[in-house]
A and B are shown apart, each in its own frame.
Chain A
Amino acid sequence: MKYLIAMFGSAEEMGTSKTPEWIGEMIQFMIALDGRLRESGEMVYNEGLADPSQAKVVRLQNGQPVATDGPYAEAKESVIGFWIVDVASEERAIELCGEIAVWSGAVELRPVPAGPPAEFL
């Protein structure tokens, strides 16, 4: 089963509120987690994202795309990185989210729908 794991937080806020030691340990955890997921074959894809102040929202106005800043420019926390994992169960996905949550803000877990089981087709 595939899941999107989205990690919330703010790198800038972390710099001012955490100790260098904490950040060093967080970095070690993140690198080790990516390594473990790659080794176990559960990693599909992962990326860190640029700061939310770089985010744009694009809507059509009179049929033309118009980009505006936002929507997170003022928000304290937003998505700063994500994983797509392919795991055996939801329990495993929640376990991973729990590990990540130790080092970040909220973690959002979303199933990637896999389509109906073969017997219904």
Chain B
Amino acid sequence: MTDGRAVVDLLRELAPQVVGLLARRYGDWANAEDATQEALLAAAAQWGNEGIPDHPRSWLVTVGSRRLIDTVRSETARRQREDTVAALEVDAAVSTADDSLTLLYLCCHPALSQQSQLALTLRAVGGLTTAEIARAFLVPESTMAQRISRAKQQIRSAGLRFEMPPKAELGERLAVVLQVLYLVFNEGYTPGSRSVAQGADLTDEAIRMTRMLRSSLPADGEVAGLLALMLLTDARRAARELDDGMLVPLAEQDRSLWNRAFIDEGVRLLAATLGAGPVGPYQLQAAIAALHDEAERADDTDWPQILALYTVLEHVSPGPVVTLNRAVAVAMVDGPLAGLAVLGTIATDPALARSHRFDVVRGHLLELAGERDAAIEAFGAALRGPASAAEQRYLALKVARLSAGHT
């Protein structure tokens, strides 16, 4: 028996390379992806018992090719297309890193819905099985299978091909890729909503795929910034929820539980990136996360520096959520009343009207200001918003503590 985890890790690493090779060899992306998925399932079953073959990638390509030719043969038997496609030259000069990148651009094409982008990316680039993706999103497997097949239909009907986007579009397209990877990360990181023990962990997968993207684009500051942001955020994972499911806010977390290796790696990445090129929102958010992570105690947090970074972030990528976070930093530097004044500037922003975050922040700042009744009212308002079950419990506890007169 081979270590099951080693097999899974290897399969996920090889998956995008196999899809890329088959897609270039046979020119049919959607069938190449299906064939790869079948080869992965066959490998998972066989390698666990018989061990990993000497040339695992060739094994997958061979099995995938057979499946693909079977499919093409049955689809177009009378035209005998397999003779034609098998004759297509494979460009040996194209590296696997380029294939993975091309695949990411295709799965994160702006013509696809966000749901499709997430599902396709996890399957084709991440090498997850449909069943694993379904479990991660807590939907039935048949639902996820249907979502993936619809995503492929969208790709077909939009006439998208397995090729690099034109140079002029690269910037915009990369922004979508980064957004999709960050969404995968957040989907996994949302507290209290996911069962980690159930198999694929979306947070880990997002970090892994972003590492892969970085090996394709080592010079891009925002790719490095996103990877650093994920590492510096995920570093706090073990501390932000107690065993009984209770959320622990940053200031109250047991910092000895933080992942030192992730913090060190994230900080190193940032140090090598900041100042080397134009600074973007992911680098700035990562820099803010780094300042939190580097403080030994909550009281040591360098809030003036965090406030300076939020001010830059607000210029680079303005929006009410950034302002909301800046209000917290202002409160920590200049006092809660100054923070509440910043909040006042976005109180009527329609983008926040359907969110409970505004009232959560308002409650915290009012509590800091010693306005107990107003804080209770604000947390109550937050409870009437779309808070998750874990947040609802946290907020109800907050209200109960304030009502009981201790914090």
Where the two chains meet, the residues of A that have a C-beta atom closer than 8 Å to any C-beta of B are 11-12, 14-16, 18-20, 22-24, 26-28, 30-32, 38, 45, 47-48, 50-51, 53-54, 81
Q: What's the nearest-Cβ distance from chain A to residue B289, in Å? A: 27
Interface bracket on B: 20 to 34
Chain B residues contacting A24 (CB-CB under 8 Å) are 244, 246, 397
B404 touches A20 (CB 8 A): yes
Q: What's the nearest-Cβ distance from chain A to residue B366, in Å? A: 15
Q: In the complex where A23-B393, A23-B400, A24-B397 touch, is A11 in contact with B388 (Cβ < 8 A)?
A: no
Chain A residues contacting B404 (CB-CB under 8 Å) are 19-20
Residue in A closest to B138 when the chains form the complex, CB atoms: A45
A50 touches B403 (CB 8 A): no
A27 touches B399 (CB 8 A): no
Chain A residues contacting B376 (CB-CB under 8 Å) are 15-16
Could you list 25 examples of A-B contacts with CB < 8 Å?
A11-B383, A11-B392, A11-B395, A12-B380, A15-B383, A15-B397, A15-B399, A15-B403, A16-B400, A19-B400, A22-B400, A23-B400, A24-B246, A27-B246, A27-B393, A31-B245, A32-B244, A47-B389, A48-B388, A48-B392, A51-B383, A51-B385, A53-B384, A54-B384, A54-B386
Where the two chains meet, the residues of B that have a C-beta atom closer than 8 Å to any C-beta of A are 138, 195, 244-246, 376, 379-380, 383-389, 392-393, 395-401, 403-404, 406
Tell which of B244, B245, B380, B386 touches A15, judged by Cβ atoms closer than 8 Å: B380
Q: In the complex where A15-B399, A15-B400 touch, is A27 in contact with B244 (Cβ < 8 A)?
A: yes
A28 touches B400 (CB 8 A): no
Chain A residues contacting B397 (CB-CB under 8 Å) are 15, 20, 23-24, 27
Residue in A closest to B400 when the chains form the complex, CB atoms: A20
User: Bound complex: CA of A53 vs CA of B376, how far in Å?
Assistant: 18
User: Bound complex: CA of A106 vs CA of B156, how far in Å?
Assistant: 51
User: Bound complex: CA of A51 vs CA of B367, how far in Å?
Assistant: 23
User: Bound complex: CA of A32 vs CA of B393, how far in Å?
Assistant: 14
Chain B residues contacting A48 (CB-CB under 8 Å) are 388-389, 392
Task: Name B's interface SS.
Answer: helix
B245 touches A16 (CB 8 A): no
Chain A residues contacting B395 (CB-CB under 8 Å) are 11, 15
Chain B residues contacting A19 (CB-CB under 8 Å) are 400, 404
Tell which of A28, A32, A50 touches B386, judged by Cβ atoms closer than 8 Å: A50
Chain A residues contacting B379 (CB-CB under 8 Å) are 15
16 further A-B pairs in the complex, CB-CB below 8 A; given A18-B396, A51-B385? A11-B383, A11-B396, A14-B400, A15-B396, A16-B399, A19-B400, A20-B404, A24-B397, A27-B244, A28-B244, A48-B389, A48-B392, A50-B385, A50-B386, A50-B387, A54-B386
Residue in B closest to A22 when the chains form the complex, CB atoms: B400
Q: What's the nearest-Cβ distance from chain A to residue B195, in Å? A: 7
User: Bound complex: CA of A19 vs CA of B400, how far in Å?
Assistant: 6
Q: What's the nearest-Cβ distance from chain B to residue A84, in Å? A: 12
Residue in A closest to B381 when the chains form the complex, CB atoms: A12
Residue in A closest to B198 when the chains form the complex, CB atoms: A38
User: Bound complex: CA of A47 vs CA of B385, how far in Å?
Assistant: 16
Q: What's the nearest-Cβ distance from chain B to residue A6, in Å? A: 14
Chain A residues contacting B392 (CB-CB under 8 Å) are 11, 48, 51
Chain A residues contacting B195 (CB-CB under 8 Å) are 38
Chain A residues contacting B245 (CB-CB under 8 Å) are 27-28, 30-31
Q: In the complex where A12-B380, A31-B245, A51-B383 touch, is A23 in contact with B396 (Cβ < 8 A)?
A: yes
Chain A residues contacting B387 (CB-CB under 8 Å) are 50-51
Residue in B closest to A49 when the chains form the complex, CB atoms: B389
User: Bound complex: CA of A27 vs CA of B397, how far in Å?
Assistant: 10
Tell which of A12, A38, A53, A54 touches B396, judged by Cβ atoms closer than 8 Å: A12
B399 touches A12 (CB 8 A): yes
Tell which of A11, A16, A30 touches B403, judged by Cβ atoms closer than 8 Å: A16
Tell which of B244, B385, B386 touches A31, judged by Cβ atoms closer than 8 Å: B244
Q: In the complex where A15-B380, A27-B244, A27-B246 touch, is A20 in contact with B389 (Cβ < 8 A)?
A: no
Tell which of B244, B388, B401 touches A20, judged by Cβ atoms closer than 8 Å: B401
Q: What's the nearest-Cβ distance from chain B to residue A104, in Å? A: 12
Chain A residues contacting B385 (CB-CB under 8 Å) are 50-51, 54
Q: What's the nearest-Cβ distance from chain B to residue A22, in Å? A: 8
User: Bound complex: CA of A24 vs CA of B245, how far in Å?
Assistant: 10
